[in-house]
Structure 1
Amino acid sequence: MQLEQKEIKTVSPKNASAYLNGFRESKSKHSGNYIVGIADTVLMEDISNTSEQLAVIPAKTVHRNLKSRILLLEIDGKVESVVFSTHAYDSSTAELFSGEILITDLEGNFIDAFEIISGKINVQYLKRKADSTKALQSKGIVDDENDDCGDGCPFSVCSWCG
């Protein structure tokens, strides 16, 4: 089986700022914003095994206890973006991260999430489908964690359950 190779390119700081300005303008027309603050600074981080860089913009979301960044990269000629948020555990160190990672789109829609222990993926959280949550609840699964999720949400932040 042949894997499709995607072309990735760096989004320049100037283009990153323009992209985010467009996002700011469009979100001002909508209520219920997931991103509540975006820094003016665009940091550039090297991507391993390439000459390209990832545009990283510090951000604040409705999840105030998370450290969030908007990540921008050009993939096959189109700027792609995600919000990458982390919640570090007390055992986390500068060398080995331990904690939770939440990846969403700019509107806060769940894409992926992980629990990392000592730098290694321990758990990948899957998005719950409404029908599977209803099925769990109809089987008498109770809120044993007292987190108001109704079925024992695995996240430390209940609203991640979706």
Structure 2
Amino acid sequence: MKTIPIKLILLFSLLVLIYSCEKDDNLIIKEGYLKTVALADAKSFLRQSQDEKNSTPEGNFITSISDEINYEDLTNTDEELAVIDVKTKYKNLQSKVVLLNINNELQSVVVGLNPFEHSTETSFSGEMLITSINGNIIKAFEIEDNVFVAEYINNNTVHKNHEPNKNKNSVNETAKNCWCGMSNCNWCGELDEVIITSGGSPSPPSPYVSIAHMYPTGGGGGLPNEWDFGGGGGHNG
């Protein structure tokens, strides 16, 4: 019976150790991809946003900012979103600034909701508008009974000048007056495509939205991370 040289044993052990370290490093990178925004950083962001709003009160997309910061759960992770109530130039929307640290960068969006009359606390029907802090539209959704039924995407291309239907007589803008189906015709000029999704099932008990719809997640992989935007059960920061 041949004996294995001690050098080969040591070399094999070294290779196993290197492989294990690389595997652990990849795991750490994957787990650290999403991080809760620290309270101090969230407050700093809040102060900066207030200063910018006050410097140009007439031209800002955000018109009012709450001084309260809530932390709300994400699915499939222990990390949380920092959520701040705001008001924007779209006065009919229920809007929130949502903060998350992705790949060591603080990411922020404004999520605005326009509930329809038949919407309830456990079954949301309405519109969702996702924009940058400056009001640039990222995308929009139509939701019926917690199911996303239409998705409107901004592809950052040259937008066509879509006009509302002139044959419709209405004092207020309605979905029937806009080519894109949204209740505000101004949004249609920002959006290029419409993707209608079929099927799917409601998300109990309140609707959830994937963070991939809100932020440039860069294909972090793993199980989907979603925010219960109808919940509001987070704790204050």
TM-score normalised per structure 2: 0.58
Higher relative contact order (CA 8 A, sep 6+): 2
Corresponding residue of 2:230: none
2:166 counterpart letter in structure 1: D
Secondary structure, in 3 states, of the residue corresponding to 1:21? helix
CA deviations over 1:54-113 (Å, ceiling 9, x no partner): 000000000111000000000111110000000001121111211000000000000010
- Separation (CA, whole Å) in 1 of partners of 2:122 and 2:94: 17
1:8 corresponds, among 28, 34, 40, to 34
Secondary structure, in 3 states, of the residue corresponding to 1:133? coil
Q: Which runs of 5+ in 1 are unaligned?
A: none
1:143 corresponds, among 163, 166, 169, to 166
- Separation (CA, whole Å) in 1 of partners of 2:156 and 2:104: 32
Corresponding residue of 2:72: 45
- Separation (CA, whole Å) in 2 of partners of 1:151 and 1:84: 21
Change (3 A) 1:79 1:53: same
1:144, 1:151 within 8 Å by CA — same for their partners in 2?
A: no
Change (3 A) 1:131 1:76: closer
Q: Of Structure 1 and Structure 2, which has the larger fraction of its residues in helix?
A: 2
For 1:109-128, list aligned pairs within 5 A: 109-127=136-154
1:25 corresponds, among 35, 51, 54, to 51
- Separation (CA, whole Å) in 2 of partners of 1:98 and 1:33: 28
Change (3 A) 1:144 1:77: farther
Identity %: 35
Q: Which runs of 5+ in 2 are unaligned?
A: 1-29, 191-237
2:109, 2:133 within 8 Å by CA — same for their partners in 1?
A: yes
Change (3 A) 1:45 1:129: closer
TM-score normalised per structure 1: 0.82
Corresponding residue of 2:194: none
Moved over 4 A (4+): 128-132, 144-148
2:83 pairs with 1:60: no
For 1:52-131, list aligned pairs within 5 A: 52-127=79-154, 131=158
Residues paired across the two proteins, number: 153
1:57, 1:71 within 8 Å by CA — same for their partners in 2?
A: yes
* Post-superposition offset of 1:125: 1.4
1:126 counterpart letter in structure 2: I
* Post-superposition offset of 1:51: 0.5
- Separation (CA, whole Å) in 2 of partners of 1:62 and 1:24: 15
2:53, 2:63 within 8 Å by CA — same for their partners in 1?
A: no
